[in-house]
Structures are given as structure tokens and as C-alpha cells.
Amino acid sequence: MKIRVKINGAWREDDVAPRLLLVHYLREVAGLTGTHIGCETSICGACTVLVGGQAVKSCTMFAVQADGAEITTIEGLAKDGQLHPLQQGFWEEHGLQCGFCTPGMILSAHQLLARNPHPTREEIRKGLEGNLCRCTGYQHIVKAVEYAAKASGK
Amino acid sequence: MRTKILGERIKRKEDPRLIRGGAHYVDDLKLDGMLYMTFVRSVYAHAKIKSINDAAARSVHGVVDVLRGRDLEGKLGNVPCAAGLEGLKIPDHPCLAPDEVRYVGEPIVAIVARDRYIAEDAADKVEIEYGPLPVVVNPEKALEKDSPLVHSKFADNVAFVAKLEGGDWKLVENDKSLKLIKQRFINQRLAPASMETRGVIASYSSGEDALTVWSSTQIPHLLKTQLAVMTGVDEARCRVITPEVGGAFGSKLNVYAEEGVASFASKKLGKPVKWIEGRRENMQATIHGRDQINDLEVYVKSDGVVAGLRCRIIADLGAYHQLLTPAIPTLTALMILGCYNIPNVWVETIGVFTNKMATDAYRGAGRPEATYIIERAMDLVANELNLDPAEVRQRNFPSPKDFPLTLATGVDYDTANYQKTLKKVLKASGYSRLRKEQERLRKKGKYLGIGLSTYVEICAMGPSSRMPAGGWEFGMVRVEPTAKVTVYTGTSPHGQGEETSFAQIVAEELGIPFDNVTVYHGDTSVVQHGIGTFGSRTTAVGGAAIFGAVQKLKKKMARFAAFKLKVKPGELIFDGGKLQTADGSKSIPFGEVVEAAYYARQLPPGVEPGLTEQMVFEPPNYTFPFGAHVAVVEVDGETGEVQLRNYYCVDDCGRILNPLLVDGQVHGGLAQGIGQALWEDHVYDENGQLITGTLMDYTLPKAHHFPWFETSNTETRTPVNPLGVKGVGEAGTIGSTPAIVNAVVDALKPFGVRHLDMPLKPEKIWRAMKQAAAQA
């Protein structure tokens, strides 16, 4: 099936199998391997991307369902070489170790801050409940999101 | 004043590629003509394979090959076990089961196809006829005379029995003044569950007879050697590359069947073969952690001083040995006395085969079990004698002056001040205030629990004489002609941050900017030797090797500089991008020394051109980091739910090279240790079916499960390595589990609860409270 999607600001067209998962489309067809696969059951959130500004677990969506949509992956977050405040926050606050959950974590946090620009620590923890991290114990992730909230200055 | 880099809170070199999505894990790599492999795995815990019909699978368009166990016979070696214990039974462990399966998830057939969707389709079409055999899941039942045998070639299910005795046990038994406290502990099975599952790409080139393997592993060099042995490819033509690794926690300190089969398939088909583990496979067929039954006896004097400790450890090894399976529970015996100088000890460890996946190293690897036993024991003593748990610990601590100290277990502890960490954590947590609050709340029918844990761990693994495959580590430092510095380490960090801390060591020593140093690891053709990353050894052993190499390099650079400056090499100090005399009267820029070494127009006598130095560091002993943790919980009297209210810890990992990284390691460790205490449980049913086979069933802790961790440190440097560092990767996991359980049991004291096994889920606690109420 032909689909047309706008990924990180650029439209592209591809012919894909109806059963191709969005995450495999992004990784293997579009070559954007920053989106990871951690569980296949929509629990871990490593595959989180933004579809139409909404955080979506791309392992439980077919590529064809994204036809016509605008998608942001981790590769599209930095603008003109400038890190997004969330990326900067994760760096400054040591919000990652192995880095595997990080792209999904950052994009979930992106949605969280869009909805609630100044979350409390408790709200950050609750807001990230769809994303698992096995390395950090989450504390530095909470600080990273706080850093981004402050840096965005809204 | 020297530029200070070491000890500073410096953000990581690793992060820019990771936060931009530009890093490459195994699954992100694509090679020309690459094929994709998937496995058909056993659905039975124990069965004969009566027949395999793969005709339908082979006929799927895009399937290239279907491999069975018999195809590998004589061509691919077994999965290796490196643990050497006296009398150890080592069962054959072929990469694909040829005729019998012994756990759910054991690979039987490998499908190689053009892409992963086709491979999965074909896997569904393989028909395997099984002849089910009796199953044994419970390790105690496996020890009974009439138990089904996991391996019929052995007379029983006992893989090994190891005894450890110290002091004079007779004396303890005959001393009638001692009080005997007994308790059984179940240390449940866990799933390491790194966020990145395992993955491998094998690429064999027949022209060169060369095998290159990309694997998500902690031990690229050991894997290279083992793959050479397994596949028969000359080791000189084997190369293992470890790209980005998405967490491991011990689970990738191994050589797995899938790495062997992928190599075999690539060699057979002449094309690169990729296999990426699914999460279900990861839960089934990546090693598991813990799984011990501990029967403890503690003999204690009336003042709370423990005179003797006796323990029988039943360790569930699973069906086969992975790389270190039998060695892990022996670490429990070794560390069972914790930070108490208990003069008499007797431990028997029985390793048992069951129809389950192998256990092996998972964060802490045998030491969390030891710490759990001894730290629960201290609380049982306190409870029995009506003493404060902090006081009981104080009474059993050795004095800081007693170090180095040889314990009854024969282990030589390097250095410690247990009193200091305990005092600090009691103060940080407001311990005495908490006890008063607890009393007040109890009167109102509210259940606050305060749990202590004072732990010591054995790290920086280790002296080669006591390690299965060498305990040294390799480090090399090269100053490039542009004066940038390249560092090579044989360790294989995968999230811990040593690209940063090793660069700090080198930048500080050479007096050059941190940004000028780049650290490489994980490619056996780039880094000449190596052991790997595990056992909290990377900085304490690998960092020490880098430090040693840089000292040699400084000596050489000083000779070039001294020759030019006409001073003695020993007079020169490296700082601020210069080499200068102590009084600053003479100096030469770092870059000019580099030029002198590479252009080599005027060599000092007996000095070779170039600036590359290396060192293999052999640690004279392990290190013994320690710490004290306090957990504060509230238990809901109606539902049994545990709310972890506060967590305080003071950890002593020796000298701190980067506090940011130390905090990160401690936090992550705490999350896993607390996870075991409260939620995690990898469960098989009586038929050997894995109940918790996905992340929907196995509880991995989430962000909102945890309170703010209040962490701090003391710094007692170790004399074991020149950096004075001890290791911190496992501290949080080791210290936290007993602190949580002690807190929950403490909260339940009004109900007369003396012990509950992990995980402390609400239902278990609710039942204990109900039972207490019924008895009252």
C-alpha cells in the first residue's frame, strides 16, 4: 500500500506491506534507527514517537495507519544543530545511562510538557508511567524534565 | 594549581550521540545481503523431540535455510561454561537441542530468511512432535530421591556441593549459653530485563576465512575466543564488535547459543545473519538471576554478638550451565558474613538442576543473596533480643583499625569504616526521630516501618588466581600526532559512563583538556586484549590499567621534554597543556613534546619514537565497598499495600572520580534492589511454564514507584589499586533489598510478623495481617 507521511519535517512516500509496524517502517524503511523496540507489548515505551503531536507507541501501530500524518522522531528534535531543552536536560542531569529508553522517554516527556509546562516531580513520574528505564532509577530523568521545563521558560 | 578534572561532576561524553538518536545498537546495523534469523523454541519444560517437520517452513517464499540440532553436530561447539568447581557436573549444552529439551524456550530450530517477517511466518509453520517427560521445577523436590532427572546421564540433580567452613563450629554447637535463631529465606528468581534485548550479527567471509560478529555483550574478547573455539575459525581471523549496548546487568556476561548459531549460519550461507531477541525470548532464554533457598542458623550471645553462622544454600541453577552459572552461588557463601567479624561459619552450597532457564550473573550476582541473609539475620537477632537493629550491628562491626581483616570465610577485606557510614545514614534519616514517630503512629493503628541494611560487597573482580578466565584488564593510551589522545580499554562499558571517567583520568594526568581525550572499547581488532565489564570491575581494574599506561606515557614524554629542556625527566609536571619544572622556570608545550616524539629528529638516547603505552593491570585483591541504607515504609493496615516513603543511603565506593556517575549507578542499583523486595518475581508453574513471560506479567518498576533517593557518600580509599577506587555498579542493588524487607517486617511487628519472603506484594502482607488477627 502507498503511504505518504511527513517525518521530521519532510514528506516521503513509500509502498509498504499492510502489516508493517510503524516502528519497523521508521527504522528499516526510513532509516531512522533512533526509535527503539523494547517489548512488543506496548509496555516499555522505547518506541515512542510523536504522531500529530501525540506520543504514540510505534510498535502497536501499523505504518499504513500513519498515512497522511506528521511524525516526529528523536532525530527530528534538535533544530539547526541546537539540542532541544529536553535533550539538553537529559545530558546535563545524567538522565540516561545505556540510552536505549532515552528517545522514547524524551518524546513522552515532550508530550507531558506540552500538556503541563510546569509539572511537579510527582506529575513527571506519573506522566512517564508508560516508559520503562532499567538503568537510572528515574531520579535523574525527573531532574532532566525539570531542567527542560525551566529552560523552556513558558 | 593543577587543573582539576578527576572528582568533578562532569557530564558524559557518551550522551550527545544517544540523545540525538545517532547511536548504533546491534539492531541498528544493516549489512549488504543480510539475512534474518529466528528460533523455534521448546514449549515444553522437558520432552523428547520425536520429530520435526519443517517442509512447510522451507516452502515459505524468502526462507533461505532451516537449521536443526543435528545440522550442527561436529560443526559447532557447545555453549561454554567457564566455572571450575570441584566435582562439578557439566551437562552437554548444544546450541540447538538435538533430541531432548529441558526448559521452556530452549532453541530447537533456527530459520534463516530474507527478512524478519518472513522468518517469523516460517517459524510458525515448523511442526515439532514432543514426547513429554516428567518435569522438576522446585529445587528442593529435585533433591528428593524419586525426583525426575533433568539429565538422565547423571545419577541425580545435584550439580555440585561446595562447603565453606571457618573457625571452630564444634565450639559453637557445644556452647549452651548461645541462643539459636533459625530462619528460611527464599530469594526469588528475577529477570535482568535490560531494555535492549540481546542481538547478534555474524558475518563470515569465505575468501579470508574470517568471522566478524557484532554482539550486544559485556565481554567481546572472551566471546571472540569462545566463538573461535565453537566455530573452528582461527582466532586470529575472528573479530567481535560490541556496538552500543542497551543495558545488561550481568545478563550479557555470557556466551549464548544464538551467537554460535548465527556464526554457524553465516559461515554456512556466506552471508551476514542477524538475530534480534524478542522480549518474550528475553524473558525465557536470557539468563535469570538469584533463585536460592537459604536455611539459616545464627548462634548469638545474650548481648547480641553473633558467635556463629550456619547456612545451607540450595541454588536453583536451571537446566544447563551458562558461562558462570555454578560460580554465582559460591559468591553468596563467600560474602555471607557481611560486615561482621563473626568468628565461626559453616556454609553448604548445593547447586541443583531444574527444568528452567539457567541462572547466572544478575546485578550483584550471589552477593545480594548473601547480604539479604546476613542483614535479615541481624534484624532477627535484634527482634529476638529486643535490641535496636542499629545497636546490634554496631556490636558486631569490626573496628576500622582491624583492617586489612581476614574473616572466618577466608576473605581478606581491604579497608572499611562501617561505623562511619551507619552513623551518617542514621543522622541523615533522622533515625531516632523516626522511631518516635513510629511509636506514635502505632498507637493510632498506622504502620510505619524503618529498615536498616549495612552491607559490604566484593568487587573489582578480581585476582586472576581466583577468577575463571583471568581477572586482569588491559589499558592503552596513545597521544596522536595532533596531540589528541586516544584511550583503549579492554572493559566493555554499556551505560556506566567510563568513556567519561577514563577520559577524566587521562586528562587530569596529562594536564590537557578533557575534550581532547577519546575512549574506545568493545572492538577486539581495535583493543588488543580485554576481559570485560562485570563485577564492579571496570574502573577499579580497567581504570587502573589506564592509569598505569598513562604513567608509562608520562615517563616517556618527560624524557623527550627533559632532553629538549636540558633538565631531569623526574622534575617535570604535566599541567595546563605544558610540561614544566616544579618552579615553573622552564616549560615546553604538550604539543611540542608530541612533535618531538613523532618527528623523531633528535631522539633521547634509548628512546623509541611514538607515544603509545599500555598496561595490563593484575589486581592483588578484590575491593570491598560498603555502605548503610535506611528505608522508611508505610504499610496500609487495610490492604497490605507498601508505600516506600523515604530512602536514605550512604555508600563508600572508595575514591569518587565523578559524583554524577556514582549517583546514577546508585540510583539504578536501588531501583533493581527495591524491585526485588517489593515487586519482581520470575515465576514458573509446576509444569515448568513461564508465567511471567512478558513485561505485562513481570513487574519492572516505573518512575512513580520510587521516592526521592537521598544519597551520600564517604570515601575510604582502597590500597588495592593506584586510583583508590572500589566499584559502585552493584552497591545499590546489594544494599537496598534487605533494607526494604527489614522495613516492611518492622512495620508489621505489631502483628507478630517475624519474616515474610519477597516480593512483598499487598496480598502476602494482607494475609499475614489477617492471620495475625485471627490468632489474636
Tens-place pLDDT, residues A66-84: 999 999 999 999 999 999 9
Residues A92 and A41 in one domain: no
Residues A7 and A70 in one domain: yes
For residue B3, the model assigns a pLDDT of 66
User: Looking at the complex, does the CB of residue A41 fall below 8 Å from at least one CB of chain B?
Assistant: yes
pLDDT category of residue B4 using cuts at 50, 70 and 90? confident
Q: Exposure string (b/e) for A85-115, b if CB count within 10 Å is 16 or more?
A: bbbbbbbbbbbbbbbbbbbbbbbbbbbbbee
In a domain, residue A49? The reply is yes
pLDDT category of residue B518 using cuts at 50, 70 and 90? very high
Residues A69 and A121 in one domain: no
Domain of residue A25, CATH code: 3.10.20.30
- Residues of chain A positioned with their CB less than 8 A from the CB of B704: 122, 125-126, 129
For residue A153, the model assigns a pLDDT of 73
Q: What ipTM goes with this model?
A: 0.98
Contact between residue B652 and residue B421 where contact means Cβ atoms under 8 Å apart:
yes
Residues A69 and A36 in one domain: yes
pLDDT tens per residue across span A30-52: 999 999 999 989 999 999 999 99
Mean local confidence (pLDDT), B386-391: 98
Which of A16, A44, A75 corresponds to the end of one domain? A75
**Chain B (197-216) residues lying within 8 Å, Cβ to Cβ, of chain A:** 197
**Chain B (717-776) residues lying within 8 Å, Cβ to Cβ, of chain A:** 732
User: Looking at the complex, does the CB of residue B514 fall below 8 Å from at least one CB of chain A?
Assistant: no
Give which of A9, A37, A11, A8 is closest to A22, Cα–Cα.
A37
Is the pLDDT assigned to residue B700 strictly greater than 70? yes
Mean local confidence (pLDDT), B354-382: 98
> How far apart are the C-alpha atoms of B722 and B715, rounded to whole Å?
15
Residues A53 and A15 in one domain: yes
pLDDT category of residue B2 using cuts at 50, 70 and 90? low
User: Looking at the complex, does the CB of residue B508 fall below 8 Å from at least one CB of chain A?
Assistant: no
Residues A28 and A50 in one domain: yes
Nine-digit cell string for B551 = 604513567
Domain that holds residue A89: 85-152
> How far apart are the C-alpha atoms of B604 and B88, rounded to whole Å?
57
User: Looking at the complex, does the CB of residue B20 fall below 8 Å from at least one CB of chain A?
Assistant: yes
Answer yes or no: do A97 and B664 touch at CB < 8 A.
yes
Q: Nearest residue on chain B to A32, judged by CA atoms? A: B21
Nine-digit cell string for B142 = 529435585
Mean local confidence (pLDDT), B497-526: 98
Give which of B98, B129, B105, B124 is closest to B113, Cα–Cα.
B124
- Residues of chain A positioned with their CB less than 8 A from the CB of B658: none
pLDDT tens per residue across span B91-119: 999 999 999 999 999 999 999 999 999 99
How far are the Cα atoms of B30, B225, B242, B261, B287 from residue B202, in angstroms, in the given order?
11, 15, 12, 9, 21
> How far apart are the C-alpha atoms of B34 and B297, rounded to whole Å?
58
pLDDT category of residue B1 using cuts at 50, 70 and 90? very low
Q: Is B470 helix (H, G, I), strand (E, B) or coil?
A: coil
Count of structural domains, chain A:
2
Note the pTM of the prediction, 2 decimals. 0.97
Q: Nearest residue on chain A to B247, judged by CA atoms? A: A98
For residue B560, what is the DSSP state? H
For residue B223, the model assigns a pLDDT of 98
Contact between residue B555 and residue B245 where contact means Cβ atoms under 8 Å apart:
no
Is the pLDDT assigned to residue B268 strictly greater than 60? yes
How far are the Cα atoms of B374, B425, B490, B617, B677 from residue B651, in angstroms, in the given order?
18, 9, 27, 26, 19
Q: Is B17 helix (H, G, I), strand (E, B) or coil?
A: helix
Which of A53, A75, A97 corresponds to the end of one domain? A75
In a domain, residue A120? The reply is yes
Contact between residue B378 and residue B396 where contact means Cβ atoms under 8 Å apart:
yes
pLDDT category of residue B84 using cuts at 50, 70 and 90? confident
Residues A131 and A105 in one domain: yes
For residue A116, what is the DSSP state? -
Residues A144 and A94 in one domain: yes
- Residues of chain B positioned with their CB less than 8 A from the CB of A91: 11-12, 15-16, 19
Mean local confidence (pLDDT), B641-652: 98
pLDDT tens per residue across span B138-189: 999 999 999 999 999 999 999 999 999 999 999 999 999 999 999 999 999 9
Residues A63 and A9 in one domain: yes
> How far apart are the C-alpha atoms of A12 and B451, rounded to whole Å?
58
User: Looking at the complex, does the CB of residue A129 fall below 8 Å from at least one CB of chain B?
Assistant: yes
Per-residue three-class SS string for B645-683: EEEEEEEECECCCCHHHHHHHHHHHHHHHHHHHHCCCCC
φ/ψ (deg, to 5) at A126: -65, -40
What order do you get walking across the sheet with A48-51 strand by strand? Answer: A10-15, A2-7, A70-72, A48-51, A54-57
* Number of residues that this document lists for chain A: 154
> How far apart are the C-alpha atoms of B714 and B64, rounded to whole Å?
59
In a domain, residue A121? The reply is yes
Task: Tell how strand B412-413 and strand B642-652 pair up.
Answer: unpaired
Residues A64 and A99 in one domain: no
Other CB atoms within 10 A of residue B127 CB: 12
For residue B775, the model assigns a pLDDT of 86
Is the pLDDT assigned to residue B267 strictly greater than 50? yes
For residue B773, the model assigns a pLDDT of 84
**Rg (alpha carbons) of chain B, rounded to whole number:** 28
pLDDT category of residue B247 using cuts at 50, 70 and 90? very high
In a domain, residue A80? The reply is no
Residues A96 and A48 in one domain: no
A89: closest CA of chain B, how far (Å): 10
Domains of chain B by range and CATH? 31-133+195-247+252-285 (3.90.1170.50), 365-459+622-775 (3.30.365.10), 472-617 (3.30.365.10)
Domain of residue A92, CATH code: 1.10.150.120
In a domain, residue A147? The reply is yes
- CB neighbour list of residue B438: distance below 8 Å, 6 or more residues apart: B448, B449, B450, B746
Other CB atoms within 10 A of residue B133 CB: 18
Answer yes or no: do A91 and B196 touch at CB < 8 A.
no
Is the pLDDT assigned to residue B756 strictly greater than 80? yes
Answer yes or no: do B695 and A41 touch at CB < 8 A.
yes
pLDDT tens per residue across span B51-64: 999 999 999 999 99
pLDDT category of residue A152 using cuts at 50, 70 and 90? confident
Residues A42 and A68 in one domain: yes
Which of A24, A43, A75 corresponds to the end of one domain? A75
In a domain, residue A37? The reply is yes
Contact between residue B380 and residue B393 where contact means Cβ atoms under 8 Å apart:
no
- Calculate what percentage of chain B has a pLDDT beyond 70: 100
Nearest to B671 among A28, A34, A137 (CB): A137
Question: A69: number of CA atoms within 13 Å, CB side?
Answer: 20
Is the pLDDT assigned to residue B421 strictly greater than 60? yes
Question: B701: number of CA atoms within 13 Å, CB side?
Answer: 29
Is the pLDDT assigned to residue B285 strictly greater than 70? yes
Burial class (CB in 10 A: 0-12, 13-18, 19+), B341: middle
Give which of A152, A150, A154, A132 is closest to A141, Cα–Cα.
A132
